[in-house]
Amino acid sequence: MEIGGRVLEPTADEFRRLLSTVVDYLCATVESLPDAPVARSDGIAELLADPRLRQAPQEAGRPLGELLEVIDRAASKGFNPSHPGLLGFVPGGGIVTAGVADLVADVLNRYTGQATPSPGLVAMETDVLRWLSDLFDLPEEAAGILTTGASLAVLSALITARTALLPADFLDGTIYVTAQTHAHVAKAARLLGFPSEAVRLVALDAGLRMDPAALQASITADRAAGRRPFFVVASAGTTNTGRVDPLAAVADIAADKGIWLHVDAAYGGFFQLTERGRKALTGIERADSLALDAHKGMFLPFGTGCLLVRDGRLLRQAHSMGDADYLQDLRGSTLPDFADYGPELTRDFRGLRLWLPLQLHGVAAFREMLDEKLDLARFAHRELSTVPGLILSEPPELSTFCFRLSSEDATAELLRRVNDEGRVYLSSTRIDGQFVIRLCVLNFRTSLSQVSDAIDSLCRHTAGLAAEM
Ligand SMILES: *Cc1c(COP(=O)(O)O)cnc(C)c1O
């Protein structure tokens, strides 16, 4: 008997068979990951023209088996962030137990925008946020919200700081970033109605970190010119180079000048679980707000970030709309109503994606994984620094570094040849306008095997390119 059909509620037996079909598919997919190609760019036009993929929904349904085949085919092109060889961008890998949590949360389908409908589940999500606040030594009054990613986290951070520090006419409010700050800050500023000149680029030091003296000078000059400096973003691991801004020095200036310190820890934040990470991130505990991406350093599937705010009341003040009449039955819980702490009202039960893996695997499992990634990145840097012709950035502070050949064309060709082999996938960026290859170890599935593959491939193709010159 085919599962599905016109009945929206399968019987218990049908549901079981439906899940077991899906589980068989997912287990086979995960099992085949190491041998599957990490990226495929061939046949995309055919894929996009495939009528099985592009068929509009019909009056009658289609069999689940057929639909899983369509999904599998659709997922077969592009690059695969679950693959252990993904060393480009900022990979996380996607632990399957977070997927299990999503399934449980979705099938339970409880409402967590407010605490009254789901006090127990909201308490669990609150406990996850408390655990995160404790990880960064934030005070008791800290509060937070799980978001879809750092982009929404910084949007809420910016509106919180704006509400707390600027008058209703906020257009001369000024925000400080560097040329290495992720573009999500400027995007949030634009979405909130700040003019582009509100975002100031602070000079970098030779190591591509924010120069605190330049920050101090910019703030002083802007104040003298009648602007209102109110928000500075320090990166706890930039996307380009993994560098950590001098957090303590920036915190000193922010405190002295009375401006809000937001730490963008989207990439690097969870290294705080490790001893070396905690050392590299010293000063992060002084943030007024802090953004994290659990879909990076906690290896979750895409879609989970977090904002933590030192003074939780300010986060609530900026987002709470007070009481809407149609929600009057939901008042009165002593737990936080998440709708008062972020832009969303209705939301998925995001907390379980963190709660279940943390409780199931234990914190040490994550710490050990992150430590291994720090080791692998250092190892890769050490090995590549012996390859004639490769020009490397400083050794990684966290798990990212960049390198290039002497010419841009050769660097681009090196990247193409390495990626074309299909075993590992690296990405590129520009530093000071110069094209560089970037290696980032953060997928939990990445082990010595893939890092060795990457080193081997880079060595061979660097030598090959040198021979062709
Ligand atoms: C990924 C990243 C972001 C953006 O986060 P999203 O989750 O994609 O919104 C911001 N800052 C840094 C440093 C990042 O690595």
Could you read off the pLDDT of 335-370 as tens digits, one per residue?
Answer: 999 999 999 999 999 999 999 999 999 999 999 999
Q: Could you give phi then psi for residue 149, rounded to 5 degrees?
A: 175, 180
Distance between CA 443 and CA 370 in Å, rounded?
9
Residue 137 and residue 50 share a domain: no
Q: Residue 202 region, left (φ>0) first, then alpha (ψ -120 to 50), else beta?
A: beta
Do 201 and 328 lie in one domain? The reply is: yes
Q: Same domain for 196 and 268?
A: yes
Q: Does any ligand 1 atom lie closer than 6 A to the CB of residue 239?
A: yes
Would you tell me the crossing angle of helices 247-257 and 212-224 to the nearest 10 degrees? 20
3-state secondary structure string across 154-197 = HHHHHHHHHHHHCCCCCCCEEEEEECCCCCHHHHHHHHCCCCHH
Q: Report yes or no: 211 and 200 within 8 Å, Cβ to Cβ.
A: no
Is the C-beta atom of 149 inside 6 A of ligand 1? yes
CB 151 near ligand 1, within 6 Å: yes
| pLDDT tier for residue 7 given thresholds of 50, 70 and 90 | confident
Whether 148 and 72 map to the same domain: the answer is no
For ligand 1, what atom is nearest to the CA of residue 265?
Answer: 13
% of the chain with per-residue pLDDT over 70: 99
Whether residue 274 is predicted with pLDDT greater than 60 in this model: the reply is: yes
Tell me: do 155 and 301 sit in the same domain.
yes
**290 neighbors 383 (Cβ within 8 angstroms):** no
100: CB partners within 8 A, 6+ apart: 356
Instruction: Classify residue 87: in a domain, yes or no.
Output: no
DSSP state of 362: -
How far does CA 452 lie from the centroid of its chain? 25
- 375, burial (CB in 10 Å: exposed 0-12, middle 13-18, buried 19+): middle
Could you tell me if residue 152 is inside a domain? yes
CA distance 29 to 73: 12
Please report how the helices 64-74 and 12-31 are oriented relative to each other, as an axis angle in degrees rounded to 10: 30
CB atoms within 10 A of CB 352: 25
For residue 253, what are its two tokens? 């200036």
Q: Is the CB of 245 under 6 A from ligand 1?
A: no
Domain-embedded: residue 358? no
- Over residues 239-265, mean pLDDT: 98
Q: How many angstroms does the Cα of residue 96 sit away from the middle of ligand 1?
A: 22
| 234 and 382 within one domain | no
Query: What pLDDT does 106 receive?
Result: 98
Q: Please give the pLDDT value at position 329.
A: 85
If one counts the domains in the chain, the total is 3
State the DSSP H helix or E strand holding residue 209, giving kind and residue range, or none if neither. Answer: none
Q: 3 falls in which pLDDT band (50, 70, 90)?
A: low
Strand order in the sheet with 289-293: 143-147, 305-309, 289-293, 260-265, 228-235, 173-178, 199-202
266 CB-near residues (< 8 Å, 6+ apart): 90, 149, 150, 153, 182, 184, 237, 239, 291, 292, 293, 296, 305
142 and 288 inside one domain: yes
Closest by alpha carbon to 259, among 317, 182, 200? 200
Q: How do residues 167-222 score in pLDDT, each as one tens digit? A: 999 999 999 999 999 999 999 999 999 999 999 999 999 999 999 999 999 999 99
Query: For residue 154, how far is its CA from the centre of ligand 1 (angstroms)?
Result: 10
- Within 10 Å of residue 11's Cβ, how many Cβ atoms? 10
> Best substitution site from 239, 307, 400, 438 to test ligand 1's pocket, by max atoms within 8 Å of Cβ?
239
Helix (H) or strand (E) holding 249: helix 247-257
Query: Which atom of ligand 1 is least distant from the CA of 295?
Result: 7
Give me the CATH number covering residue 193. 3.40.640.10
Q: Domain for residue 36, yes or no?
A: no
Per-residue buried b or exposed e for 59-80, using 16+ beta carbons within 10 Å of the residue's own CB: eeeeebeeebeeeeeeeebebb
pLDDT of residue 241: 95
CB of 423 within 6 A of ligand 1: the answer is no
User: Which of 350, 394, 320, 393 has the alpha carbon at shortest distance from 156?
Assistant: 320
pLDDT at 457: 98
Task: State the greatest distance between any 2 C-alpha atoms of the chain, in Å, as a whole number.
Answer: 76
Tell whether 215 and 124 lie within a shared domain. Answer: yes
Number of the ligand 1 atom closest to the C-alpha atom of 238: 13
305 CA to centre of ligand 1 in angstroms:
9
Same domain, 336 and 410: no
pLDDT of residue 67: 96
CB–CB of 23/44 below 8 Å?
no
Same domain, 201 and 292: yes
> What would the mean pLDDT of 381-395 be, rounded to a whole number?
96
Average pLDDT over residues 73-91: 96
| 98 in a structural domain | no
Same domain, 139 and 258: yes
Query: In Å, how far from its chain's centre is CA 255?
Result: 27
Reduce the DSSP state of residue 97 to 3 states and report it.
helix
Helix crossing, 351-361 with 363-384: angle to 10°?
90
Token pair 């943030």 is found at: 287
pLDDT for 1 beyond 50: no
Torsion, Cα of 361, 114, 140, 300 (10° steps): 30
Classify residue 97: in a domain, yes or no.
no
Mean pLDDT of the chain: 96
Residue at a domain's end among 325, 348, 371:
348
Residue 37 lies in a domain: no
Amino acid 328: pLDDT = 84
Same domain, 313 and 396: no
Side-chain-side CA neighbours of 302 within 13 Å: the count stands at 6
pLDDT attached to residue 381: 98
Question: Domain boundary at 348, 383, 417, which?
Answer: 348
Residues 6+ away with beta carbon under 8 Å from 332? 116
Measure 145 CA to ligand 1 centroid, in angstroms: 16
Instruction: Name residues whose C-beta falls within 8 Å of residue 59's C-beta, 6 or more positions apart in sequence.
Output: none
Ligand 1: residue of 151, 306, 353, 400 to mutate (most ligand atoms within 8 A of CB) is 151
Predicted confidence at residue 47, as pLDDT, reads 96
Within a domain: 354: no
Q: Is the pTM of this model over 0.85?
A: yes
Here the CATH number for the domain that contains residue 454 is 3.90.1150.170
Q: Quote the domain boundaries for residue 170.
A: 111-348
Region 409-422 average pLDDT: 96
CA nearest neighbour of 358 among 298, 270, 277, 284: 298
Per-residue pLDDT tens for 299-338? Answer: 999 999 999 999 999 999 999 998 788 888 888 889 999 9
